[in-house]
Amino acid sequence: MSESTFLLIAEPSHQGKRVDAVLASEMEEQSRSGIQKLIEEGLVSINGKKAAKNDKLKSGDEVSVTVPPPKMLDVLPEDIPLSFVYEDAYLLVVNKPKGMVVHPAAGNPDHTLVNALLFHCGDSLSGINGVIRPGIVHRIDKDTSGLLIVAKTDEAHRGLAEQIQVHSFLREYEAVVYGRVKEDDFTINLPIGRSKTDRQKMCVTYENAKPAVTHVHVIGRYEQFTHVRCRLETGRTHQIRVHLSYMGHPLAGDARYGPKKVIEKLHGQCLHAKTIGFVHPITNEQLFFDSELPAYFTSFLAGLS
């Protein structure tokens, strides 16, 4: 496949609107985040000059977009059992187990959720944003268990990504954190960016950071731990782990953001993506899915009682 070019002459209805928003609405094969990536790579121009994502259009502006060919993934299908909560022709919801990596990367080239999805779905997975990376609309960490939505078509992928971007996509997690959290309900509104001292970690920072909002509700308190529910308003990398650690309540079992002495029997952070809710991007049906807490989580809670 070769690169392609998309041309747009801004209409009066585009006047004053951001170029990334207009292009996302006009280019069916691209999401807004995909457009922003193209802009960052210098592949979008307005009247011959490279565009910025927050540039606003005027009627008559000539917008050119160079779309690179999709990169083929060197990923093989693997017959790995998965727990499906929902599936139709456009999307599916899977209950990912703790310890499974979502997407192949250095150090984890196989045995991932994507390998399993390729076996289950074959070619019926979305491949937008310039990379044929099957269906993954949002991710959860390797050692986080729980619900994950996967798009089978590009149209479904775009619709789901837009819901996440405007914060209308419900994502609720349950976690066990160190210490007795005092407030019953509170919101953490602190920006998150990559750590300067450890590139594998994220941190609360105001430098090169993105807004991050987590709503926290206490479910139960124990002598040295608290069981909480976290609702994501944004979806930054490691958001819940970073926010709660910053507040002095790191997640039990979290080797990266918690105490040096790790609770090894948890095999990673005690965090489960329990609930998701969204509007079906094709049928407009309101969907809501809730999963049971896995055995590692309930066993740990039982030991605290």
Same fold, 4-67 and 171-273+298-304: no
Looking at the predicted structure, is the pLDDT value of residue 1 above 80? no
Residues in the chain: 305
Output 118 or 105, whichever has higher pLDDT: 118
Any idea of the CA torsion for 64, 155, 277, 218, to the nearest 10 degrees? -40
Per-residue pLDDT tens digits for 163-211? 988 889 999 999 999 999 999 999 999 999 888 888 789 999 998 788 9
- Determine what percent of the chain is predicted with pLDDT higher than 90: 67
Rounded to whole angstroms, the Cα distance separating 151 from 219 reads: 32
Average pLDDT on 49-77 reads 85
Write down the pLDDT at residue 128.
56
Write down the pLDDT at residue 208.
76
Looking at the predicted structure, is the pLDDT value of residue 89 above 80? yes
Rounded to whole angstroms, the Cα distance separating 21 from 53 reads: 9
List the catalytic residue out of 141, 143, 154, 254: 141
Query: Would you call 141 a catalytic residue per the annotation?
Result: yes
- Determine what percent of the chain is predicted with pLDDT higher than 70: 93
Write down the pLDDT at residue 280.
97
Looking at the predicted structure, is the pLDDT value of residue 245 above 90? yes
Per-residue pLDDT tens digits for 251-298? 999 999 999 999 999 999 999 999 999 999 999 999 999 999 999 999
Domain ranges of the chain: 4-67, 70-165, 171-273+298-304
Confidence of residue 75 (pLDDT cuts 50, 70, 90): confident
> Would you state the CATH architecture of domain 4-67?
Roll (3.10)
Per-residue pLDDT tens digits for 218-227? 999 999 999 9
Write down the pLDDT at residue 59.
94
Looking at the predicted structure, is the pLDDT value of residue 127 above 70? no
Instruction: Tell me the pLDDT of the chain averaged across its residues.
Output: 90
- What pTM value is reported for the model? 0.77
CATH code for the structural domain at 171-273+298-304: 3.30.2350.10
Domain 70-165 has CATH 3.30.2350.10: yes
Looking at the predicted structure, is the pLDDT value of residue 302 above 90? yes
| 21 touches 32 (CB < 8 A) | yes
Write down the pLDDT at residue 212.
95
Rounded to whole angstroms, the Cα distance separating 93 from 291 reads: 11
The encoded tokens of residue 37 equal 């990536």
